[in-house]
Structure 1
Amino acid sequence: MAANRGVSRASQKPPAKGKERPAPGRGAARSRTPLQELLGSYLSHHRKTAKDSAQRLWRSPVASLMTWMVMGIALALPVGMLLLLGSLQGVSAGWDSTARITLYLEQNAGGDTLDRMRIQLASRKDITDVTVITREEALAEFRASSGLADALDYLDENPLPDTLLLTPSADIRNKQGMEALVDELEQVDAVARVQVDLGWLQRLNTITDLLGRGVWALALLLGAAVVLVIGNTIRLAIENRRDEILVAKLVGGTDAFVRRPFLYTGIWYGLGGGIIAFVLLELTLWWMSGPVEHLASLYRSQFELSGLTFEGTFALLLASVLLGWLGAWLAVKRHLDAIEPNQIEAGHA
């Protein structure tokens, strides 16, 4: 009896502090609000859906690789042409910065007139630099470079005029500004001729702008082709998972729930296509950089092919992901609406 009474008293003794442990996760669950639980469940389902979509692509590597290659080539072509145009525009901008106006004076203009015009032109705000080439310097340079030194000895006087080389400021280095400056210089006394070497540069810039618009038009067309390719691929995936979609809708799955795996599939297709486009661009630039540098050195040019910057790479990947998502969304919007349990039951009836 005493032993039993001792056992009962021991069993009624409260446990010591610090030894009682709550069930795992019970305290954390109590501390979370319903909104946090809902958000956590939502994000967890997104992670699971994205992982499952990626695993489905890896299970069919040949078909996925073919889709990625088509997207990569379609994206790399316009981006490569835009990079080429950017390099050409950079070179033409360098040529534009060194463009000059040549001012030939009258034969009877003396040294005082030359000095006066040099000071007058150097004080103008639309001219940044004035270089003087006297008649004697021009004749000496022509004698050294032409190979006609013996013939020049028979001349009674120097036929070359005094020359001023003018460098216009950057704000007027365009068609309208240059034409206005040339018209003003032609009205100056003792000026025989004004020569500007910007005509060919303006034609080059016009051709470059035209090519740029053509490249953007090509980019839009190829972007539409990428959307169609992704849409057709997602349509086939929807048809293959038709029964799964029907079951999900029968048990109350929402359109967003059913649509989510296919949207992630389009995102993975877009990301893979962007990565392949980046790899193709880098390989092409590496393959062409040597011959381009050799050709530029023969013409003493600073032209070089520039690759994608970090911002450009990010923009390429973002654009490819958006195109993949857009193609998937259009396909899902069109074909999932046709898969409804009521319509299928009516069709079987």
Structure 2
Amino acid sequence: MNAWLSQHQAALSSALRRLWSTPLNTLLSLLVIGIALTLPGFGYVLLDNLRDLGRNASGVQQISLFMQIDASKKDVDEISTRLRQAPNSTWRFVPKEEALKRMQTSEGMADIVASLPRNPLPDAFIIEPANTEPEKLEILRREITGWPKVAHVQLDSAWVKRFDAFLKLGKLALWMLAGIFGAGLVAVTFNTIRLQVMAQAAEIEVARMIGATDAFIRRPFYYFGALQGALGGLLAALLVIGALRLLAGPVGDLAGLYGASFSLRAPGFAAIGVLTGAGAFLGWLGAQLSVSLSLRKFD
């Protein structure tokens, strides 16, 4: 066990020395890897923020329930009881008197409301379901429509469906982009390791002559690829966080113009770890392919 740990420690030290021995090449490689991972990483964070924006947008996930004009207090209480029994949803009651007062405060509506012989507005409930998937919202709307003394149930399902379709399309495009740049990252690591194998051809020959195993020869290159990829992934995470901080001010100002309060949410430690781990895996994969092909000429 001690020998195995010593071998891995020696391989890790060798990989670190190789990274440090050519700082300019290492920096350029890290920039290429970091930029390749930044684009899909930033796309994921952007879609995540758009999802939050859609959930928090006023009216997007609301169902408006309008009672019949002749509905009594008993009918309203029955609807309230049904809503209390509904799981994972919040709601509020808007009496017809409150709705009329709001209409009176609207520009140009005061004289019209004053000329009305009676209040034409019905009692209403504003429901905010916890599950905002378009299919679930439509099922809930149909169920509420069948309740007694319910005149109309309004749901902007078309907007929700369009927004959900946009997010799905964005996810698909993001996966395609991640695949393309992931392949580019593997290619960068492949070429870097191939050049290192060619430069150390004499050392590899001598090591094989004195009985070194393939695992012993390959191990430093694997560590090099994984370390380079992990550092590139960490750099990508820093670039994403930096870009979000630059955009935070303009996005907040734009949201304020529409009377909303919204701020971009930066990736957490879990997302940073995933990005770093993805870079390490792709770097290791590129090293694996490169060493396997490059060492064939020594057989």
Same fold (TM over 0.5): yes
Asked whether the equivalents of residues 185 and 283 of structure 2 are also in contact (C-alpha less than 8 Å), the reply is yes
- SS at 1:193's partner residue? strand
Alignment match, 1:91: 53
2:101 is the alignment partner of 1:140:
yes
Distance 1:272 1:170, change over 3 A: closer
2:74 is the alignment partner of 1:116:
yes
**d(CA) in 1 for partners of 2:147, 2:125:** 15
Q: In terms of Rg, which structure is larger?
A: 1
For residues 138-160 of structure 1, what are the alpha-carbon distances to aligned partners after superposition, in whole Å with 9 as ceiling and x for unaligned? 333212113232344444x2463
2:26 is the alignment partner of 1:64:
yes
**d(CA) in 2 for partners of 1:90, 1:65:** 36
**d(CA) in 2 for partners of 1:68, 1:55:** 16
> Residue 269 of structure 1 aligns to which amino acid in structure 2?
Q
**Structure 1 residue 68, shift from structure 2 partner:** 0.8
For residues 86-130 of structure 1, what are the alpha-carbon distances to aligned partners after superposition, in whole Å with 9 as ceiling and x for unaligned? 1121222334897333233445x1xxx231221111111237434
**d(CA) in 2 for partners of 1:114, 1:243:** 94
- SS at 1:93's partner residue? helix
Distance 1:209 1:60, change over 3 A: same
Asked whether the equivalents of residues 34 and 234 of structure 2 are also in contact (C-alpha less than 8 Å), the reply is yes
Asked whether the equivalents of residues 87 and 303 of structure 1 are also in contact (C-alpha less than 8 Å), the reply is no
**Structure 1 residue 285, shift from structure 2 partner:** 1.7
**d(CA) in 1 for partners of 2:266, 2:5:** 37
Asked whether the equivalents of residues 118 and 132 of structure 1 are also in contact (C-alpha less than 8 Å), the reply is no
**d(CA) in 1 for partners of 2:211, 2:68:** 94
- In structure 1, runs of 5+ residues without a counterpart are 1-38, 341-349
**Structure 1 residue 196, shift from structure 2 partner:** 1.6
2:198 is the alignment partner of 1:239:
yes
- In structure 2, runs of 5+ residues without a counterpart are none
Alignment match, 2:35: 73
2:11 is the alignment partner of 1:53:
no
Distance 1:289 1:181, change over 3 A: closer
Distance 1:133 1:241, change over 3 A: same
TM-score (norm 2): 0.88
Trace 1:249-264 onto structure 2 (pairs within 5 A): 249-264=208-223
**d(CA) in 1 for partners of 2:65, 2:134:** 18
For residues 306-349 of structure 1, what are the alpha-carbon distances to aligned partners after superposition, in whole Å with 9 as ceiling and x for unaligned? 22212222222222111111110110011102223xxxxxxxxx
Asked whether the equivalents of residues 104 and 194 of structure 1 are also in contact (C-alpha less than 8 Å), the reply is yes
> Residue 95 of structure 2 aligns to which amino acid in structure 1?
I
- SS at 1:306's partner residue? coil
**Structure 1 residue 83, shift from structure 2 partner:** 0.9
Alignment match, 1:281: 240
Aligned with residue 111 of structure 2, among 128, 144, 150: 150
Distance 1:137 1:318, change over 3 A: closer
Distance 1:286 1:179, change over 3 A: closer
For residues 60-93 of structure 1, what are the alpha-carbon distances to aligned partners after superposition, in whole Å with 9 as ceiling and x for unaligned? 2221111111000011111111111111212223
Trace 1:1-349 onto structure 2 (pairs within 5 A): 39-95=1-57, 99-107=61-69, 109=70, 113-124=71-82, 125-126=85-86, 128-134=90-96, 136-155=97-116, 157-158=117-118, 160-167=120-127, 169-170=129-130, 173-187=132-146, 190-340=149-299
For residues 23-57 of structure 1, what are the alpha-carbon distances to aligned partners after superposition, in whole Å with 9 as ceiling and x for unaligned? xxxxxxxxxxxxxxxx3333333323322222222
For residues 231-264 of structure 1, what are the alpha-carbon distances to aligned partners after superposition, in whole Å with 9 as ceiling and x for unaligned? 1111111111112212222222211122122112
**d(CA) in 2 for partners of 1:278, 1:255:** 35
Asked whether the equivalents of residues 80 and 281 of structure 1 are also in contact (C-alpha less than 8 Å), the reply is yes
Moved more, 189-198 or 249-258: 189-198
- SS at 1:275's partner residue? helix
- SS at 2:125's partner residue? strand
**Structure 1 residue 294, shift from structure 2 partner:** 1.6
